[in-house]
Amino acid sequence: MSSLKKAKIAAIARAVPEKILTNFDLEKMVDTTDEWIRTRTGIEERHIADEKTTSSVLGIEATKKALKKAGISAEELDFIIVATITPDMVFPATACIIQNAIGATKAATMDIEAACSGFIYGLSIARQYIATGEAKNVLVIASEVLSKITDWDDRSTCILFGDGAGAAIITESDSDSEIMSTVLGGDGKYGDILYLPAGGSKKPASHETVDNKEHTIKMNGQDVFKAAVTKMRSSLKKALEKAGIKSSQLKLVIPHQANLRIIESLRKFLDLPKEKVYVNLQKYGNTSAASIAIAMSEAEENGIIKRGDYIALCAFGGGLTWAATVIKY
């Protein structure tokens, strides 16, 4: 074990569409109110992609910023991992599309689908490749255009989701910065509480699936809430134990940005003050895999986290999946 290398996040960046959809805009689209949305979710606005903007477009924008911050070229990348549930197409992988666009000619490519847990899943995979020496520079992208799989007539879901991307460069650590621990989990018995029914081999696209809006997100909000609270708590507790870190030592916890009530439940479980738990869902809504990457990039840019700080990330997503990681940034 002593021969394993340490992996660190060398740089992180984000990209979001320019268009903003507010709660007041939604009041004109469905039977809802700004107050109802804010009090139940904490969301005030979200960024929405235009017709030409895909997951790869946002991923490329975030990647170029991250590469510049890390001071490496695309040609130095060994592996590109894209976490998304809204790929440009079923195949080729969105990672391949991004690889070609940025000129990462030496990089292997792969998409992963772990829904909102995808960014941490990607970090965990990257960490293993760095640790074993199989790769020196790994690009982990989380990019989503959930607006394109949202039923804009369903007031229970259309208020929740937004679009965006985050990109992180993972390299071998030559300092005390490192990804200290990761915990991943999944349980398929919860698959029917958050899913997209059609578009795969079970229900290929047809007039019927389109007419029935089966290419849009379906969710049982109460069941998702219960599972999310339980799994985020347990996974983060395990990640802290694996890292040998107490919650009191954390500078910041960055949870998946889905619902303010879920985040508050996690904060109280960890017995942390509000300033130690990052919240930006009021500006972006739920951007699935991209949410933690966007939040971490924003926290760094605003000087809330800096090198040497202990931070923790945790998420849950459709599948059901969950994940947590502790990082010495």
- Determine which one of 96, 116, 158, 314 is catalytic: 116
Q: Rounded distance, CA 22 to CA 38, Å?
A: 11
- Determine which one of 23, 137, 259, 286 is catalytic: 286
Which of 297, 312, 315, 296 lies closest to 256, judged by CA? 315
> Exposure string (b/e) for 172-209, b if CB count within 10 Å is 16 or more?
bbeeebbbbbbbbbbeeebeebbebbbeeeeeeeeeee
- Determine which one of 23, 256, 259, 314 is catalytic: 256
Q: Rounded distance, CA 72 to CA 137, Å?
A: 9
CB 313 within 8 A of CB 120: yes
Amino acid present at 191:
G
Q: What is the DSSP string of 56-79?
A: HHHHHHHHHHHHHHHT--GGG--E
Which of 134, 42, 29 lies closest to 81, judged by CA? 134
Give residue for tokens 């790769």: 135
Q: Rounded distance, CA 76 to CA 73, Å?
A: 5
Q: Rounded distance, CA 205 to CA 201, Å?
A: 9
Q: Rounded distance, CA 3 to CA 139, Å?
A: 23
**116 flagged as catalytic:** yes
CB 61 within 8 A of CB 164: no
Q: Cα angle vertex 71, ends 252, 97, to 5°?
A: 90
Beta sheet of 310-317, edge-to-edge order? 178-186, 321-328, 310-317, 252-255
Tokens standing for residue 247:
């919650």
Instruction: Please list the active-site residues.
Output: 116, 256, 286
